[in-house]
Amino acid sequence: MLDLKFLRENPELVKENIRKKFQDHKLDLVDEVIALDREYRALQQEADSLRSQRNKVSKQIGGLMAQGKRDEAQALKEQISRDAKRLEEMEPREGELKARIQEIMMRIPNIIDPSVPIGRDDSENVEVQRYGEPVVPSFEIPYHTEIMERLNGIDLDSARKVAGNGFYYLMGDIARLHSAVISYARDFMIDRGFTYCIPPFMIRSNVVTGVMSFDEMDAMMYKIEGEDLYLIGTSEHSMIGKFIDTIIPEDTLPHTLTSYSPCFRKEKGAHGLEERGVYRIHQFEKQEMIVVCKPQDSMMWFDKLWQNTVDLFCSLDIPVRTLECCSGDLADLKVKSIDVEAWSPRQKKYFEVGSCSNLGDAQARRLKIRVSSEKGKYFAHTLNNTVVAPPRMLIAFLENNLNEDGTVRIPEALRPYMGGKAQIG
């Protein structure tokens, strides 16, 4: 969420940013919020003046009564009564204006970084760099669920009976592989100096609206009926929420945390052929990383975060590339974002396995996450990135480590988490 003072002083800059995100339907919101803000501040000024006058007159009444000037005192009492009535009339409008301004400000997108490429949607994202050598083997690679089924590692039919589409049972060595990847990712991030955390898997609505846009919320979140609780779509939500309404001493920054959680998502919309199986599902597990830092350090941490994911995938012999998200593909709170995509030998192309985002002070402003320094208080910057998210990550793992005989090679780094096994099959 933008600073209202910034918007008031830079309306054309905010409008140009909206155009860069191809959200022209929001342009009128800038003028509307400026007009509402003007009315709100005028009302506040009048109310403050009336309250100040009331305090001043109240003292005068006492003096007049002491002097026996009852008529003059009565006139001032009637003035106080009129002012009180005016204040009472103003309060509902003040509340309406404040709520509407807040609603609009939460819909106006954050200012994107100047380095972000301008584009309408994800088809215009820009490849940055490739890591590892993409290989297409001489033998045919089956669809990922077929690989799992041949290893007795998945049961989708039973899951449909129990929970419906978008769920799964992982079995045997595939289930073990899933847990091994999560454990390896946890230790990988701990070795890089991050503090391990297991957060709440449900959050309140004020945290939801603090960490994401309304559009994302509607498309992703499951609400617990009858309670002010939502199932998390990613542990980033509750991890950033951990700092809600706090003042952090500057000398304790940065806070670098890595978290494990299950994640729950509605995943609305049509899904193509390549998004069957365990690619786009309602429940999955994830290792995440978040950073809360000083504003001047956020871009440095942004580069460190996506590099962590690249390094982890390379350590498991999975070729990846980084993709700069264009302006139209950025969620409203994001300043800059890079996707990490893994190579699919079967599809002969890359697909997304993680996303790294710098949100500037947008989440901190909504959640009131402030930093105290010698020069005063300011809003922190927040960042998040996927370390690894199986079972989708397993698609890339199985395809890139599949042997012609149907067995799956276990990279050396993962073998201690698989009981020393060099392959499964």
How many Å apart are CA 402 and CA 245, to the nearest integer?
A: 49
Write out the H or E segment, with its range, that includes residue 145: helix 144-150
CB of 381 within 8 A of CB of 361? yes
CATH code of the domain covering residue 54: 1.10.287.40
HEC sequence for 306-349: HHHHHHHHHHCCCCEEEEECCHHHCCCCCCEEEEEEEEECCCCE
Give yes or no for residue 273 having a pLDDT over 60.
Answer: no
Does position 270 have pLDDT exceeding 60, yes or no? no
Whether 113 maps to a domain, the answer reads: no
Closest by CA position to 210, among listed 399, 359, 421, 44: 359
Last residue of a domain, one of 70, 105, 140: 105
- Domain assignment present for residue 33? The answer is yes
pLDDT at position 386 over 80: yes
Same domain? 67 vs 147: no
Tell me which residues are annotated as active site. 265, 280, 352, 355, 392
> Do 327 and 271 reside in the same domain of the chain?
yes
Are residues 222 and 267 located together in one domain of the fold? yes
Q: How confident is the model at residue 274 (pLDDT cuts 50, 70, 90)?
A: low
In-domain check, residue 112: no
Q: Is the same domain home to 194 and 336?
A: yes
Looking at the fold, whether 232 and 358 belong to one and the same domain comes out as yes
**Residue 18 domain boundaries:** 4-105
Helix (H, G, I), strand (E, B) or coil at 84: helix
Instruction: Kindly state whether residues 79 and 184 are assigned to the same domain.
Output: no
Residues 334 and 211 in one domain: yes
The answer on 364 and 295 residing in a single domain is yes
Based on the fold, state whether residues 333 and 193 are members of the same structural domain: yes
**Residues whose CB falls within 8 Å of the CB of residue 94, separated by 6 or more in sequence, listed in order:** 40, 43, 44, 47
Same domain, yes or no: 289 and 335: yes
Segment among 42-56, 238-252, 316-330 with least mean pLDDT: 42-56
- CATH, residue 320: 3.30.930.10
Model's pTM, two decimal places?
0.89
